[in-house]
Structure formats: structure tokens, C-alpha cells
Amino acid sequence: MIVGIETGGTKVVCGAFSPEEPAVPLDVRRFPTTSPSETIGRINEYLSEVGDRQPIEALGIASFGPLNVSRDEPRYGWITGTVKPGWANTKLLERIPVAEAVPTALLSDVSGAATAEHRWGAGAGVASIGYATVGTGVGVGLVLNGRLFHGNGFPELGHLMIRRHPLDDFVGSCPFHGDCLEGLVSGPAVLARWGVDSSSLPDRIRSRAHEILGFYIAQLAATVAYTSGVDRIVIGGGVLKAPGLLDETRQQFPLVTGGPHAGHAITADAFDFLVPPLLGDASGMLGASAAALDLLLARRGASAL
């Protein structure tokens, strides 16, 4: 059995899988992300229950961050400078005994989502994808030519300094940069600017709000496309659950990029290039499962040699 766990900023999703069907959970458990002690304690309880039924062969963890994912670097397995209260410098892997006992893959939550959407979701069938989430924070995961691109502190595109919309005078909500991308489009930024979440915007301001948010999210998509050459960008997260906001972002995208004749390689129609996720809230857990399976198969292959 393999186990995939997503430790998100608001909730944890755990699933157990057969290695033969790594996208079909045998069971799923969800609970809120609270304090490190309570949250990690519940993760360990789940792993103990699963392990009592059948031995765990590999574990994948996709966690919010910033997260140290490089085994050779100091503080591997730590959640480092997060703004989530109580979680800064949490030794995540050290507090999960199963992670010391079985092959364990560690990746960021958005990298997990990108992995799953590339393998089984909205990015299936293309070589390279970006996955962007716009929610409590803003994050991007990249799978380039079939391989996950990530390391300590990258890719970190939530804190891009971007062009301001001429109708937006909001100062921004990021505690580090004020009006960086995350400070302008994240869930807390939407709430601070308009007093409601993106799905509850009143009719009198919805069109203007969507224009502003779509303009910023389109700049994020353009940056991902310009720098990585991805074939598709999957955009999800709580802010994008607002009806019509993804379509507005698609409308803004060619305005931001100058369209397909502006000297760049983006030739796909925005409605094909910018797509919603297919795996929903399970993408991070499924990506962790995929990473665990890859590690298990690599270990089995090494043993066979």
C-alpha cells in the first residue's frame, strides 16, 4: 500500500492507495489544518490505522510551504518561513515516524497538484504544464517535459511584482511586499479589498472586480508561459471558483500578451491554454500518491538490479 497526504494551509487530505491503482483511493480522510502538534498528530494517527491494516510501502507528502524539499540541503523536510501562525520552522518529516521507515517523497502542495493534473487530469496528454492556485495564497507548480521542476524555494511566483491595473488603488495585503501578485489576488486580498470572497461579490462591483483580478491572473499565466514554454496552464483555487472569473482571465490573456503575433511562442487559444483543474480538491493528495509510487518503483527497480 502507498499513502498520499496533502497538508494544505486550511485542510489536510490523506488517502491510501494500491500501487496498481495509484489514482483510486481506497479511503480518504480530511481534517482541518490547525496547530502543528494537533495536525501532525492526526496525520500520524491515520498512518497508524492504515499501517495496521496493510504495510505501507511508500509515502508521499505534498505540503504548503515554503518547504525544503532538497535532501542534501539543511533543514530538509521543514516548513520554513510561512506566514501561517505557529507553523514557521516546523520539522514536518521529523515528526512523522513513518517517513523515516519507508521511502518518502516530499513536494510542495502545488507541485503535487501539477503532478496529478499532468498525469491524470487537465494536463494529461501534453508534455509540459503549469498549475496555478489562487486561494489563501498564490502558488505555481511546473511539470516540464514530463518531469517535475521544483526545489527549495522555487518555483515561487506568488510574489511577482506585476503591472497594476489602472483602476485598482488597493495597497495590497502581502505582509512582505504589499502589492505583489499574492497581495492583490489571493483570497485575503479579495476580502480586504471588497469585504467578501470572490464568489460573493455583489452585482454592482462584480464586473469591475473580475476585470481587475483577471488582469493580474493573466499576468501570472503570461509569466509562466514566457519563462517555461508550457503547453497548458491549469488554474484553480478558491478565488477561481467565482463563476465567470476564469473566462474573464482568458479574455484578459491576449490583451496582456499582445496575442499570438507578438513575437512569443504562445499560439494556443486562451480557452484551450488556460483550463480549470479536473481533479478538484484531490489533486494534491493524488500528486503525493504519484510521487510515492514513482519512488517505490525506482526502489524496486534498483533492488532488482
Residue recorded with cell 500518491: 289
Distance CA 186, CA 262 (A): 29
Contact present, 67 and 79 (Cβ < 8 Å): yes
Q: Which fold has domain 122-275?
A: Nucleotidyltransferase; domain 5 (3.30.420)
Q: Is 244 left (phi over 0), alpha (psi -120 to 50) or beta?
A: left
- For the chain, domain boundaries: 2-109+280-304, 122-275
Q: Does domain 2-109+280-304 have CATH number 3.40.50.300?
A: no
Distance CA 245, CA 242 (A): 6
Residue recorded with cell 483511493: 25
Residue 28: count of CB within 10 angstroms of its CB: 12
Q: What share of the chain is helix, strand, coil (3-state, %, to 5)?
A: 40, 20, 40
Contact present, 299 and 125 (Cβ < 8 Å): no
pLDDT for the residue 264 = 81
Distance CA 189, CA 170 (A): 9
What residue type is assigned to position 117 of the chain? E
- 71 Cβ neighbours under 8 A, 6+ residues apart: none
Distance CA 242, CA 238 (A): 8
Strands 27-32 and 11-17: antiparallel
Distance CA 60, CA 70 (A): 15
3-state secondary structure 188-245: HHHHHHHCCCHHHCCHHHHHHHHHHHHHHHHHHHHHHHHHHCCCEEEEECCHHHCCCH
DSSP category for residue 21? B
pLDDT for the residue 9 = 84
pLDDT for the residue 305 = 36
Length of the chain: 305
Distance CA 99, CA 293 (A): 14
Residue 93: count of CB within 10 angstroms of its CB: 20
Q: What is the pLDDT along the chain (305 residues), one digit of tens a residue?
A: 999 999 988 899 999 999 999 999 999 999 999 999 999 999 999 999 999 999 999 999 999 988 999 988 889 999 988 878 899 999 999 999 999 999 999 999 999 999 999 999 999 999 999 999 999 889 999 999 999 999 887 888 999 999 999 999 999 999 889 999 999 999 999 999 999 999 999 999 999 999 999 999 999 999 999 999 999 999 999 999 999 999 999 999 999 999 877 878 887 889 899 999 999 889 999 999 999 999 999 887 755 43
pLDDT for the residue 2 = 97
Q: Do 122-275 and 2-109+280-304 fall under one CATH topology? A: yes
Model-level pTM? 0.92
CA distances from 110 to 167, 213, 235, 236, 261 (A): 30, 20, 11, 10, 31
pLDDT for the residue 73 = 86
pLDDT for the residue 302 = 55
pLDDT for the residue 304 = 46
Terminal alpha carbon distance of the chain? 23
